[in-house]
Structure 1
């Protein structure tokens, strides 16, 4: 939305934030009634993979998926057409959110391995036609806030030196902020995976990302008054959305544990194992004190990440999703959707370098 880089640090931050909050009240309604809804996650993944291949900003990726959701909600589109629609949504979002020199070029897009694996070749005329249809569908209005537009503003005060970690003062504030940003990004991407998050306002989803991250990191109070004042959301309002995110996180932890190579070193968090249910209903609890820790994470070895495996997202009778990820440069595979396992979960998880 042509926002200045790091707008949340400028003098107009509060005014921009209020404008975003006002605009989200006028977002188009979403009914979740697309006949192709079971293919939705596949195409959201396609957008994420191509977006990461070109290192596009989160706002462009989230806007692209949102445009796709709204379009699918209004039209009965074939699976083959949805490939064109998805990539057109991404290009249109890039033209709105990114600098001109960062918008992927047609030739570069067609050269991606995933395009040949899908037997898909974009044409200039086809893209222009689809972009025009999209713009007419949205009445030429792409000023559509997403959770990605709010997250940095909330992260600016998400961690404070007065917060406690496992009941003890934090030793390294900057490292805590780094992990907070990492988990918030993870939960932000989780919100793209299921259309159910579209039934929450974008600012609420962003706030839930921060709240869920504070829970995972054992920061207390879980939802401090400063965040409640900034977001205007109480813990009770955030609870339904945060619960869905934490359930997805637990599922990722369990999946990562199953896929762990035999004999690989694991690490476990200090204190008692915590479940989603135990976390969710203690918004202001101070966690039981344990031996003071030098940092948030201890004794880390080689990096290991959680990711939403694209092989498990292949819809029935749909395109082979695995070919999409394997066709791209392996160095650019969905890096923004792969994050470390929290050490506070009892599930065995590979250690990683802090």
Structure 2
């Protein structure tokens, strides 16, 4: 959004925060009912990687993924068109959040590996049509708060000199603030990976990212009064979202341990017997029940030294590196290949018409249930199917 740089440090910070909280009450509802929901993770990662490639701000990245989620939720999009939809969402978000010279150019997008590997080409007409359709879908309102819009305001008081680390006074306040910011950014990226986080208000997700970071850093009290007052969220209200974030964190730690073990095993190829799991690898599976036991704010996250090193390895790079975009999903790959069959020696151009057709009636509300297969829901609002050329 068009907010002054570092607004959270200015005199109007409380007023701006209040305005953002008011706007999030009017956000479009999300049902998680897209027929292409199984491809959502791939395209969310694609947006994150491309935004990192062009050094876009977190607000642009999160807004782009949010636009994609809402658009997929309302339209039945052929899989071969999801690339142009995802990149158009990123372009709109970057135009809204970034300076003009930071917005990716068309030729830069076409040079991306994900486009060249699949022999896809975006045209100016494609992007203009899709941007227009997106804007009409959201009624020309892109002022949609995300967790990234709240996080800096909450981080401004996330660490205080009166906090304790492992029950002792902090040795270096500035270093702790730095790690707090890194972990909060990490958890923000975690929240992009799973559409289930759309079931929570953006301000709640941002608050849970701060609380999860305090747990990982073993700061006490886990949820101090100052954060309770600033965010207006109690600890008990945050627990479900915190638990999701910490489970994802442990999965990353497990993956880091697994990769570390594989590298060590390949380096010691002369040893025929596989090494036994380390105590840290065995104990990491037992952490989740301990995180929120009795839902007490005094809980701490107990990782051994080697696990802390793995966590730091995760933080040392962008979180999207933990979710490599190695290959396109099989369904998407086969669909694009089928679409491009017969176009020998020529790149496939993506075309998007503006015509849409009502399909089924759906009910939109804040509480949604995650679905696997696609279901028709009767009564309520409106859902439309985006009919695209060549879509079967």
- Taking structure 1 as the reference length, the TM-score comes to 0.82
- How much has 1:120 moved relative to structure 2? 1.5
Please, what is the CA RMSD of the aligned residues?
A: 2.7
Secondary structure at the aligned position of 1:317 is classed as helix
Q: Identify the residue that residue 133 of structure 1 maps to in structure 2.
A: 133
Q: Identify the residue that residue 304 of structure 1 maps to in structure 2.
A: 313
1:275 equivalent among 287, 309, 322: 287
Pair 1:262 & 2:276 matched: no
Would you say the 8 A contact 1:166–1:288 is kept in 2? no
- How much has 1:309 moved relative to structure 2? 2.8
Pair 1:47 & 2:47 matched: yes
Task: Please give the alpha-carbon distance, in whole angstroms, between the structure 2 residues aligned to 1:34 and 1:61.
Answer: 21
Count residues with an aligned counterpart: 310
Task: Please give the alpha-carbon distance, in whole angstroms, between the structure 1 residues aligned to 2:307 and 2:242.
Answer: 26
Give the 3 Å change call, closer, same or farther, for CA 131–141 of structure 1 in structure 2.
same
- How much has 1:122 moved relative to structure 2? 1.1
Q: Identify the residue that residue 173 of structure 1 maps to in structure 2.
A: 173
Q: Give a deviation string over 1:245-279, Cα, whole Å, max 9, x none.
A: 00000111011101112179xx999xx97712212
Match runs of 1:307-346 below 5 Å: 307-310=321-324, 315-319=329-333
User: 77-86 or 102-111: which moved more?
Assistant: 102-111
Task: Please give the alpha-carbon distance, in whole angstroms, between the structure 2 residues aligned to 1:287 and 1:212.
Answer: 10
Would you say the 8 A contact 1:163–1:169 is kept in 2? yes
Q: Identify the residue that residue 242 of structure 1 maps to in structure 2.
A: 242
Task: Please give the alpha-carbon distance, in whole angstroms, between the structure 1 residues aligned to 2:104 and 2:79.
Answer: 23
User: 277-286 or 62-71: which moved more?
Assistant: 277-286
Task: Please give the alpha-carbon distance, in whole angstroms, between the structure 2 residues aligned to 1:211 and 1:62.
Answer: 20
Q: Give a deviation string over 1:18-72, Cα, whole Å, max 9, x none.
A: 0000000000010001000000000001101110000000000000000000000
Give the 3 Å change call, closer, same or farther, for CA 298–51 of structure 1 in structure 2.
closer
- How much has 1:317 moved relative to structure 2? 2.2
Give the 3 Å change call, closer, same or farther, for CA 300–136 of structure 1 in structure 2.
closer
Give the 3 Å change call, closer, same or farther, for CA 220–34 of structure 1 in structure 2.
same
Q: Identify the residue that residue 60 of structure 1 maps to in structure 2.
A: 60
Q: Identify the residue that residue 90 of structure 1 maps to in structure 2.
A: 90
Would you say the 8 A contact 1:42–1:313 is kept in 2? no
Q: Identify the residue that residue 150 of structure 1 maps to in structure 2.
A: 150
Q: What are structure 1's unaligned runs of at least 5 residues?
A: 290-295, 321-354
Task: Please give the alpha-carbon distance, in whole angstroms, between the structure 1 residues aligned to 2:309 and 2:255.
Answer: 20
Secondary structure at the aligned position of 1:259 is classed as helix
Give the 3 Å change call, closer, same or farther, for CA 268–304 of structure 1 in structure 2.
farther
- How much has 1:299 moved relative to structure 2? 10
Secondary structure at the aligned position of 1:242 is classed as helix
Secondary structure at the aligned position of 1:305 is classed as helix
Q: Identify the residue that residue 9 of structure 1 maps to in structure 2.
A: 9
Q: Identify the residue that residue 253 of structure 2 maps to in structure 1.
A: 253
Give the 3 Å change call, closer, same or farther, for CA 106–39 of structure 1 in structure 2.
same
Q: Identify the residue that residue 298 of structure 2 maps to in structure 1.
A: 285
Q: Identify the residue that residue 224 of structure 2 maps to in structure 1.
A: 224
Would you say the 8 A contact 2:30–2:199 is kept in 1? yes
Give the 3 Å change call, closer, same or farther, for CA 103–208 of structure 1 in structure 2.
same
Q: Identify the residue that residue 345 of structure 1 maps to in structure 2.
A: none
Greater RCO structure (CA 8 Å; 6+ sep):
2
Q: Give a deviation string over 1:296-324, Cα, whole Å, max 9, x none.
A: 999979x733642325885442349xxxx
Q: Identify the residue that residue 327 of structure 1 maps to in structure 2.
A: none
Task: Please give the alpha-carbon distance, in whole angstroms, between the structure 2 residues aligned to 1:200 and 1:71.
Answer: 18
Would you say the 8 A contact 2:80–2:332 is kept in 1? no
Task: Please give the alpha-carbon distance, in whole angstroms, between the structure 2 residues aligned to 1:286 and 1:249.
Answer: 16
